[in-house]
Structure 1
Amino acid sequence: MIRQSQGFLTQVYAITDFIFIQLVFLFSWWLKFRSGWIPYENTLPIADYALWSLIYGGIAIFLSYFVNFYTPKRRKKFSYELFTVIQVYTVSLLILLSFLFIFKEVHISRSYLLLFLVNNIIMISFYRYILKHVLRQLRERGYNKQFVLILGAGTLGKRFYQNLLQHPELGYEVVGFLDDHQTTHEVGFESYKPILGQIDELERILESLIIDEVIIALPLAAHHKYGKIINICEKAGLKTLIIPDYYDYLPSKPYFDNFAGIPLINVRDIPLDEFRNRFFKRAFDIIFSLIAIILTLPLLICIAIGIKLTSPGPVIFKQERVGLNRRTFMMYKFRSMKVQKESDSDTKWTTENDPRKTKFGSFLRKTSLDELPQFFNVLFGHMSVVGPRPERPYFVEQFKEEIPKYMVKHHIRPGITGWAQASGFRGDTSIEDRIKHDIFYIENWSFIFDIRIIWKTIVNGFINKNAY
């Protein structure tokens, strides 16, 4: 019955989205062509636009089904839904533009379509946020519950139960435990839900109680029982989840991958491993870096002239850095020091009163203007606008032995700015703290997170007391 209601909710989501798209179409039409707030020239009848609005709605609903946007995701944050809305509705508009090009609909206002897109993202996100908030409140009050049975009343099962109690907003309720080695909880755990029987009684328990998910929290010694347990759960149409007895050894959020037809546990869930996420991040990098280069072109020329006038040598300083997948690349910066041996620049830190710096170079470093050429690294694909800062090979070899998980930062492209830098960890600051921030960024990446880091970098300013 609960699964039927979830299917019904999926249909309600799709229908509601489609209705909202058409309401947004009418609002955007009024805003653009009837409000008088936005100037426009002669336009097509509203019926012509309405046809394409219906097509756009169909495309958006299809893509939402395609990316499983309507599948219930109690454990996902709202930022996930927001990012998915932006992706789905932006890609839908690109597909619509392709249709307009094919059918030579050249008189459809492109500025109206942009307004339509922005309003769609705002309205769909707003109603989704309200709906998510309402569902969360209902779950905390005991409505829309999902009932869970835990197999194993040992350390794993008890820890899962404790963690679940701390998140009532998820709407999960444990009905009890099954365990082969104890019939009641030991002293100190009497308040836990009861032990309903042994593992072999699972089929009887599933027939007598309303259960939606079964959590297997058994020790490795009981792995031979997994096959029978899973078969019983699938026969009953229940979702089964396994807590591995070795999860304490996993460094972060693991997930199952598939390689050569064999399921594998991937110990680190990296959002940028997904093609669509990499595609959108790369597209954003190219657009952002092109805009940045065009806007700062006069400044780039002035800095180049300033370097030439204040010290002999090349304008651009190139240095080997370690990037994506531990591959090296040449990172570009404006030269801020006197020309020196490559061995010195690759193995020595810059100090506050470093005699190698030129006067003009000190200014460039303090204001971070020496970093501007790295937008060309972004265009060439060596770097991203946002990501962990790249380091020299000499120090990478040193840090990987001294700092736990240091090499994890190379799972994604390095960036001009990053979560660590935006949080104040730049220059002469703790490498350990930087790595913690880098790993947090890698595991929690989203398009909104990138925008937040860029905004925080701009707001905090480019002048930093630790930038030597």
Structure 2
Amino acid sequence: MNTGKQQTYTAVSVVIDAIVLTVSYVISYLIQFALQNNLAPFDSRNYWPPLMIIVISYLMLYAFFHIYGSFRMTGRRKEAVLIGKVNIIGALILFAVFFVISNTEGYNWIVGFSRMMILWMTILNTIFMVVWRNIFRFILMKLGNSRFNRKPVLIVGYSQAAEAYIERVMTHKQWGYDILGILDDHLHTNESVRGISVLGPIESLEEYLSKNIAESIIITLKLKEYDRLEEIVHVCEKSGVHTEFVPDYNDIISTKPYTVDFLGLPLIHIRHVPLMEAGNAFIKRAMDIVGSLLCIVLFSPIMLAAAIAVKLSSPGPLIFKQERVGLHNRTFKMYKFRSMTVQKASEEVSKWTTKNDVRVTPVGRFIRKTSIDELPQLFNVLKGDMSLIGPRPERPFFVDKFKEEIPRYMIKHQVRPGMTGWAQVNGLRGDTSIRKRIELDLFYIENWSVSFDIRILFLTVFKGFVNKNAY
């Protein structure tokens, strides 16, 4: 979105957010006192002065958390979650401020200020903000490529990155991007690609910009043409046009690369792994220790019953120990309740469990279907071999096989393997697609957060224990 329109949209957003905050505040006041059967005129002494401070503070909080970004490409769900989180943070800050100054001389009125009203305001404000922003998106979608919502752009260089960019622009008409044409050395002038005209070679960029208006130049060179990048950027900046760069190595570097300042030198981590940061690793390990101890106590009756059933159902050891590959490619012994008849070690390490596998005992079939056989892994978590949440570990035989067949397979070993994971709660267990499983594992690794782990735990409870693909 061009700077002028973005500033206009941002200004409109700030004004509407201020109005929404005020309306939410007033309605919350009415609801709170109506529920107490004490509906009274708005208290001008105790409730009007904080309103202005609250509105300004929340608007600053929204700006701090980048809620006022481009409407073109922010996802609805992502924005709704962000709004909810920021409003909760705002409510917690208000509660903390009220607690600190409640006993301060001159602020005794804070004691009588309704905390419940703040909760109502948080709920209503979140709903109202999400609703009005979605209405605004709908308006932008209807405007499409109209003059008001039009952003003319020029593509320089044709590559896989260019194809991906064009595909997204054509799919999302509401963004309002208008591709004027393509400049490329390998396409014929006046040729058409996806309905977009080829205007000439890249060297004609300066001449084109002197005669035509483009709000942005989208550089999508092939990787082997990057020696021309400096020249193209120089021409764009000389013409005063905004320049954006879509790299042609998306299959190598993730969509969210992590960049650090290496004494003035930008150092790009090929893949951002939040759990490689010491603070995040400490939080996750603490959650694993506390969580595994609680689960061991909670599930001890189930584990005792399973142990008796396994021991009585067939001869052999109670606990099945199998070598798996974990963090930093190190192997460890993973524990499970034995669910199969005892077999030769050479068969066990290289044979996949399939539907109606004759090796599975009747008791084993039940505990595998309900994931009870996995409960001993709580002790693996306590030891530090595994985590409660993470990519499922695999046997060395299959790791050696998959790392040659599936790109980026070994990245999963940059974090501890888990008892359950994002792939498992999405139904990818047992004899299912390894490629799809790895895609979801990589998404988890690159987007880890405490809230993401909690989400997976809840999904595991409600739909992850019993699974049709667990044989």
TM range (shorter): 0.7 to 0.9
Structure 2 counterpart of 1:65: 63
Distance 1:304 1:378, change over 3 A: closer
| Cα distance in 1 between the residues matched to 2:376 and 2:121 | 36
Report Cα offsets for 1:106-158 as digits up to 9, x if no partner: 66555444443333322222222222232222225554111112224688757
Structure 1 residue 101 displacement after superposition:
2.9
User: After superposition, where does 1:23-422 map in structure 2 within 5 Å?
Assistant: 23-35=23-35, 48=46, 52=50, 54-72=52-70, 74-104=72-102, 109-141=114-146, 143-152=148-157, 160-161=165-166, 164-179=169-184, 184-186=189-191, 189=193, 192-193=196-197, 195=199, 199=203, 201-202=205-206, 205-219=208-222, 223-244=226-247, 246-247=248-249, 250=252, 253=255, 255=257, 257-258=259-260, 260=262, 261-263=264-266, 267-268=270-271, 272=274, 286=287, 300-307=299-306, 309-310=308-309, 311=311, 322-323=325-326, 326=329, 335-336=337-338, 347=349, 359=363, 363-371=366-374, 387-392=390-395, 395-412=398-415, 414-422=417-425
Structure 1 residue 70 displacement after superposition:
1.1
Report Cα offsets for 1:71-97 as digits up to 9, x if no partner: 215233222212322332222233333
Distance 1:408 1:181, change over 3 A: closer
Structure 1 residue 424 displacement after superposition:
2.8
**Is this contact kept in 1: 2:25–2:51, CA < 8 A?**
yes
| Cα distance in 2 between the residues matched to 1:222 and 1:396 | 36
Task: Kindly provide the amino acid, as one letter, of the partner of residue 79 in structure 1.
Answer: R
**Is this contact kept in 1: 2:140–2:175, CA < 8 A?**
no
Which sections of structure 1, spanning at least 5 residues, go unmatched? none
| Cα distance in 2 between the residues matched to 1:404 and 1:432 | 9
SS in 2 for 1:28: helix
| Cα distance in 1 between the residues matched to 2:276 and 2:71 | 18
With 84-93 and 155-164 compared, the bigger mean Cα shift is at 155-164
Alignment coverage as a number of residue pairs: 451
| Cα distance in 2 between the residues matched to 1:143 and 1:414 | 50
TM-score, with normalisation over the residues of structure 2? 0.72
Structure 1 residue 367 displacement after superposition:
1.8
**Is this contact kept in 2: 1:254–1:265, CA < 8 A?**
no
Structure 1 residue 214 displacement after superposition:
0.6
User: After superposition, where does 1:456-467 map in structure 2 within 5 Å?
Assistant: 460=463, 462-467=465-470
Task: Kindly provide the amino acid, as one letter, of the partner of residue 31 in structure 1.
Answer: I
What is the identity percentage for the equivalent residue pairs of Structure 1 and Structure 2? 36
| Cα distance in 2 between the residues matched to 1:407 and 1:273 | 16
Compute the RMSD of aligned alpha carbons: 5.0
Distance 1:441 1:307, change over 3 A: closer
Report Cα offsets for 1:384-416 as digits up to 9, x if no partner: 665432335565345334443322333555444
Report Cα offsets for 1:214-261 as digits up to 9, x if no partner: 1223456654543343234335553312344x5375375364734514
SS in 1 for 2:179: strand
**Is this contact kept in 2: 1:153–1:195, CA < 8 A?**
no
**Is this contact kept in 1: 2:154–2:214, CA < 8 A?**
yes
| Cα distance in 2 between the residues matched to 1:282 and 1:12 | 41
**Is this contact kept in 2: 1:252–1:268, CA < 8 A?**
yes
| Cα distance in 1 between the residues matched to 2:155 and 2:368 | 57
SS in 2 for 1:391: coil
Task: Kindly provide the amino acid, as one letter, of the partner of residue 435 in structure 2.
Answer: E
SS in 2 for 1:206: helix
With 117-126 and 306-315 compared, the bigger mean Cα shift is at 306-315
Structure 2 counterpart of 1:9: 9
Structure 1 residue 98 displacement after superposition:
2.6
Structure 1 residue 173 displacement after superposition:
0.7
Task: Kindly provide the amino acid, as one letter, of the partner of residue 130 in structure 1.
Answer: I
TM-score, with normalisation over the residues of structure 1? 0.73
SS in 1 for 2:197: coil
| Cα distance in 2 between the residues matched to 1:181 and 1:432 | 34
Which sections of structure 2, spanning at least 5 residues, go unmatched? 103-109
| Cα distance in 1 between the residues matched to 2:415 and 2:272 | 12
SS in 2 for 1:425: coil
Report Cα offsets for 1:428-466 as digits up to 9, x if no partner: 334334224434555677899878766765565633344
